[in-house]
Amino acid sequence: MDFRRQKLSIAEAKEMDMVQYLSSLGYEPSKIKGNDHWYRSPLRQENTPSFKVNRKLNRWYDHGLGEGGNVIDFGIQYYSCSVGEFLKKMEGGFSFQKPSKSFTKIKNEPEHQLKILKEVELSSHPLMRYLEQRKIPIETATRYCREVHYELNAKSYYGIGFKNDSGGFEIRNPYFKASSSPKDITTVKNASDEVTVFEGFMDFLSFKSIRENDLNKTPDFVILNSLSLFEKARPFLESHKAINLYLDNDAAGQKVAREALSSSKKYNDHSKLYQNHKDLNDWLVHIGKQQKKRLGNKL
């Protein structure tokens, strides 16, 4: 595949074969098992391969970072750039040479951190359209999210911000995923003896939108914001009598669910509801309005 096409669209970029793209950067898998191609992470230094590309899904997941996505999600992290800048790189406007990164951290070396400039009520039309595309009601999103304006690498951006328990934000817009420090879980406490767990806040908002008219008992919620924070969340989770898991339908999410179920009878895995989709939000996007109403009580 020629990665140097002109006028490359976001949709076209997302369809590019991730394995071939990594090969063009000089990365080859350390092992291949079925559709899973395992690499030493291009995003950090490691000895044991924990960066996986599922070639069937054409998506990557870095188990050490607890993050993943499509080729664009990878590119903006790899090059520390915006979506537009990455598309230019893909078009051939910039060299495909590996960016000069030193994985040996120098003591007191300043990091390029995302800086929050301001947070306001959600009002941006592009963000509203994005929420509509994800089938999230605006009233549900505005109840739990903010519009966050931030700076990264001396450039300003904005997105949907979801605050964690330490004051950091998970930020999403149609083209970019980001996090501000400190990284942490988000808990929503309703004085319940039951807790429901999600990897990301879009799944939480999906759950709330499906249950928007349900006036029955409301559980506590934990949004991990990264699967790597599951262990940190366990003391709070296991203080409840019942723990409902709505983790992503990928290898990492399924592995955590299996381990949790084997450790305690409190855990219940609900991923079968969206077994043909990557997560709860993906399932919600693909079901009709009538199905949404009819299936809401299954949650």
Task: Look at residue 288 in the predicted model and tell me its pLDDT.
Answer: 52
- Write down the pLDDT at residue 2: 41
| pLDDT computed for residue 232 by the predictor | 94
Fold of the domain spanning 186-298: Dna Topoisomerase Vi A Subunit; Chain: A, domain 2 (3.40.1360)
- According to the model, what pLDDT value does residue 299 have? 64
Residue-wise DSSP of 69-102: ESHHHHHHHHTT--HHHHHHHHHTSS--SPP---
pLDDT in the model for residue 250: 86
Tell me the whole-structure pTM to 2 decimals. Answer: 0.63
pLDDT at 4: 40
Instruction: Give how far Cα 277 sits from Cα of 31, 210, 247, Å.
Output: 26, 17, 11
Class (C level, CATH) for 10-91: alpha beta
In eight-state DSSP terms, residue 104 is S
Q: What is the pLDDT along the chain (299 residues), one digit of tens a residue?
A: 444 434 567 877 787 888 888 887 778 888 888 889 999 998 888 788 899 999 888 999 988 888 889 999 998 888 878 888 888 777 653 333 344 333 333 333 344 468 899 999 999 888 999 899 899 999 999 999 999 998 877 778 889 999 999 999 999 887 777 888 899 999 999 999 999 999 999 999 999 998 766 646 789 999 999 988 999 999 999 999 999 999 998 888 999 999 999 999 999 999 999 988 889 999 998 875 445 555 555 66
- List of residues 6+ apart from 212 with CB closer than 8 A: 137, 140
SS3 39: strand
208 and 144 Cβ atoms separated by less than 8 Å: yes
- Least Cα distance to 288 among 136, 135, 127 occurs for 135
Q: Name the segment(s) of the chain with CATH classification 3.90.580.10.
A: 10-91
- Pinpoint the residues of the chain covered by CATH 3.40.1360.10: 186-298
